[in-house]
Amino acid sequence: MMERNVYDIYEMFAHLSLEQKKGVLRDFQEMVDAEESRPEGSYLEQKWKEIEDSLFDLSLEPYIDDQLEIDVIWHICEEIIKSGRLQEEPWKVREEIIQKITDNEYYDEYGVSDPMMDLIRELPQDREEKLKTAEIMWNGSGFMKKDGAKLFRELGEEGRYIQYLETHLGDDPERYMEVIRYYEERDPDKAEQIAELAREKCRRAYKPGLTDVYAFLVRRAYDTGDIDRLRKLFDSARRRYTVNAERLKEMCPEAVQAASDVKGAKRKKKGKRQ
């Protein structure tokens, strides 16, 4: 707690030499003079200063759990959001806070990520500011970039969201399907490349999305008249436990019929030869 931290400062000060004490006092006086001469900040600036003071106190604690400062930060964030005064604040002030929250990844290490997430969502007041916020978060690290991509999507900037997904596909077929759906009409060839990548990377992912990937490839083969590829895809689907072959047939009845017709024709041709 702050009281203990102040006591530690006094304890340290007591062990300094006389000259060191004089130097510290001069430095402290300069800090006091600078703060007294500084213009009083806006409502948001003052509240953010309170938050930063609590964050500093938390940084001095050996353990974060159950510290009073966490509740203080929650309360201040809620107060700011409910105040109705954010629209009165200059964008520059709000932007600086958004940047700090992004740089510190919602201050997650201090156990206050939830109130910071709430606050960063409320700071931008119009579409232009939300786009700028998304850009700031996009240029952040880790999950900040991910949340920036999600915000772009909420704002109708689907391309930026897909751009993020393309570099973070992993082995989740659902992610591949989001990218496939985006390119299905815009660039069918690219959509097919993504689908083939999903077949390679998601071999062990037992999720519905892989069946959807196969359904896209089956429809693509049917639309392009590649019946041989169509049959191979159905054969591959039957061999993969991660693909629901029956559901695939229900999703692509015309393709199933086309593959079946070709297979039947080949059997008749073989019978005539014999």
Is residue 191 included in any domain, yes or no?
Answer: yes
Residue 161 CB coordination number (10 Å): 23
Length of the chain: 274
What pLDDT digit, counting tens, does each position of 195-254 carry? 999 999 987 766 667 999 999 999 999 999 998 899 899 888 888 888 888 899 899 988
Question: Other C-beta atoms within 10 Å of 125: how many?
Answer: 14
Give the span between the Cα atoms of 227 and 29, in whole angstroms: 84
Tell me the residue range of the domain where 60 lies.
40-125
Among 57, 90, 125, give the residue marking a domain's end. Answer: 125
Q: Give the C-alpha separation, 99 to 86, whole Å.
A: 16
pLDDT in tens, 9-44: 777 878 889 888 888 888 888 877 777 666 678 999
Nearest Cα residue to 216 out of 204, 224, 207, 205: 224
Give pTM, 2 decimals.
0.76
**Per-residue pLDDT reduced to its tens digit, 110-166:** 999 999 999 999 999 999 999 999 999 999 988 899 999 999 999 999 999 999 999
User: Is 147 contained in some domain?
Assistant: no
pLDDT higher than threshold 60 for residue 186? yes
If you ran DSSP here, which 8-state letter would residue 19 be given? H
Looking at the 3D structure of the chain, how many domains does it have?
Answer: 2
Q: Spell out a b/e string for 28-58, using b for 16 or more CB atoms within 10 Å of the CB, else e.
A: eeeeeeeeeeeeeeeebeebbeebeebbebb
Close Cβ partners of 245 (under 8 Å, ≥ 6 residues apart)? 234, 237, 238
User: Does residue 154 belong to any structural domain of this protein?
Assistant: no
Domain co-membership, 119 together with 176: no
